[in-house]
Structure 1
Amino acid sequence: MHVKAVRRSLAATLVSVLAAGAFVLGTGGAEADVIGSMEVTPATGTDTQGILLTTSGACPDTATNIIVTVKGKGFPDGGQNVVGNAPTTIYNTAPNGGMEVPLTFTMRDYANVAGFTTLEGRYDFTLTCRTAFNGTSLGDFTAPIWFTSNTTYQNTAPVTATTTTLAAGPASSAVQGTAVKLTATVAPAAAVGTVRFLDGTTQLGTPVAVSGGTATLTTSALAVGTHTLKAAFTPSDPAVYGASASAPLSYTVKIKPPAVVTAAKVTGTVRVASTVTCSVSFSGASSTKYAWLRDGKTVSGATARTHGLTSTDYAHKIACRATATNTTGSTASTSPSVTVAVGPALKNVAKPSIAGTHRVGYRQTARPGSWSPSATSYSYVWKRDGWTISGATHSTYTATRSDRGHKLTVTITAKRTGYSKGTATTASVKIG
């Protein structure tokens, strides 16, 4: 109860003092030109400290009195008088020739009279030079203060804090050589200055001016690996806006996928029994796999760079597909198809022979010998003294009277699908 009584007494005293100047609320008259500024002392203070206003010069010679008002959040729109209609002669002259005007009460007192409790933001003092009985201003001096909390003020504009955020496109990762767009967003958007884009501690490009709260930089120079990207805002006027930096942005640049240097091609003699090679080259590959195709379909088990052609491939179209891979991805190259030609002739490795009793009336049997690769079928031509015996085309032949005293041979033709035919002739036998 005692505290409330003291507050009521203080408020009553303040109202009484201001009333003595005939102006409790309201301005000192019509607005006039600002003829100077004021210095607020102390430069930083509290809501319960006294304030001294020192004008930058003297009032005009015709002025005999002053009124001081304060405007800001909580006070009436027209301002609240903090110095009544006081004679200029009661104030000391400052070294600069201006007046030293101490405010009798504190900002907390003035707020209590105005009926609010929270002091915040900017408050403007206006000292109006005038005559005692004419409210017309003969010139004004002004000074602002800023409450940075409910209890503390400063006589310079507080620096507006900024925040900077960084985004990248594509987001989080890109392939080597991709144009990466870095966008810094600075708040408040009215902040003026530049942004430096950093890769670790290395600056990317040159600082970029902020426009409408954003600054962008596009670069294709990020090396393969993991990067820590930042955006640092530097204000043009550090007294107005503070500097800020974004949180680190982790960004990964991947190696390019393998690129085809020389397209796949089947090389070598493309015929049965030959080995062909999938000739191809890539850049940026860590491994390469191969597949062979027959008439467009994958040949099971054929995964080497080389492929031995068999009779199964004969007259079919063969192609190869090479797939190169690295940590980013894979790239494939498929060769044109080529038709597999017939293989070489079967080779006789054990000479054929004629078995049996070599006399008229006895069956002669042709033994084909051995062939490489092995034959799957044979054909026979019997000859007498080198001349073909009509109709004698089987593996056996019965000697006739016409053969007595003559020499018989058999020419054997070995056959296998996909290979050229091989021929061999037996040694002759004389028929008795």
Structure 2
Amino acid sequence: MSLSFGGTMNHSLRRIALVLLGLVAGLLIAPVGAAQAATAGTVSGTVTAAPGLPADADVWVGVQRRLASGHWVTVNRGTAAKVGGTYSLPLADAGTYRVQAQVFDQSSSDFRTVSVSKGVKRTGVNLQLLPNREISGRVSTEGFTLAGLDPDGPLLVSADTTREPSWSTEVAATALVAADGTYTLSVPRPYDEVRVRYHQRPCPDDPAEECEFGEALDVLTAFWDGTTYGAPSFDQATAVDLSGGSVTAKDVTLTLATKFTTVTKPRITGTPRLGATLTAQPGSYAPAATSVVYEWYAGSASVLGEYDALVGTGRTFTVTSDVIGDSLMVRARPVRAGYEGPNLASAYVFAKSRSSLSVKAKPGKRKATFTVRVKAPDIDTARIYGKASVYAKGKRIKTVTVRGGKATIKIAKQKKGKRTYTIRWSGNKSITSATKSLKVRIR
């Protein structure tokens, strides 16, 4: 990000709109998994409002899914509703979810946690809106000015509920810092205690932006602790108690950050097969990082970077059936007091299930018929498709289409006698290829 000192920022309406839309989109439509066409189950109920709140407000009912790491991540199955009305949410995958209703920056319900399994309809998951609580204060700067920041990287204030928040995990609320340094955070239920984080907006993954996605921030992130410059980490921050209502005067002074020099980028080790554990190698930096924050993303295998969505955190990731057929990559962000690090991505790997190939041969007079069966753990037969070919002495004789894990290959004009045939299964984006050889006596 570029930074100028003593200049004035060109706050175009387009840039401000993009920032605000980005904040809302992170809450509304952050997807989990690359493909979510199917429906595992549904959650439904009513939406009501506490006395004193508008009785006819438009409501957004959102849903978060629990990751194996314990984090909750927003999924793209939210729906619009009205106070006094009902909602119904179709959910693509079985798992543990929590549902919440919000009138943004005004009111919200507590979470309702439900388990969803295939074909189950969870009814009576009713939600009641309660007033949000607000946190307000002022951000001062030292060594730079708010006007001198790159318009693509304005200052934000977030209410965090976990020590390693992502753009899509457990950030209770986020707001822009105004030109005069003031801010107001509207914190939804059920959060009675949060840590306030002051940080620069990361460059989004958007080709229209002039900044570089994943680059280190100019401004040093800080957390409110009642001191002038704040605390360097979530663990050292002072919790803000909202159980008694809104709070004010949560002020801080921000400074410029020193940036890491990247020596090597992160990478993934391990074989990306169903049930396997992958490990993130963090890369190396100067100076050395004291810790590294890891985020795992799944996305399209055909168009890399398309629909990438957070599916795990931590240094290791276990390949589950949810990501089979997807591309996988890990982002690693180095952490050290006084420094801001880049959020670099590894190369992509492709998650597949390991196939097993069985072949039966029925010889005939100058001919043979091969019955091919392909299986893969936790993969529906509809996803087992591709090509099967028969070879002899390295020469391909015939290729057929495999559908539903089955195919029959008939060959003719074969020489009499015993010979070795090799059947090769092509595999596909979800399943590995396989080969099997067998001896057949042609009559």
- TM-score normalised by L of structure 1: 0.29
Q: Please tell me whether Structure 1 or Structure 2 has the larger radius of gyration of its CA atoms.
A: 1
Larger relative strand fraction = 1
Greater relative CO, 1 or 2 (CA 8 Å, sep 6+): 2
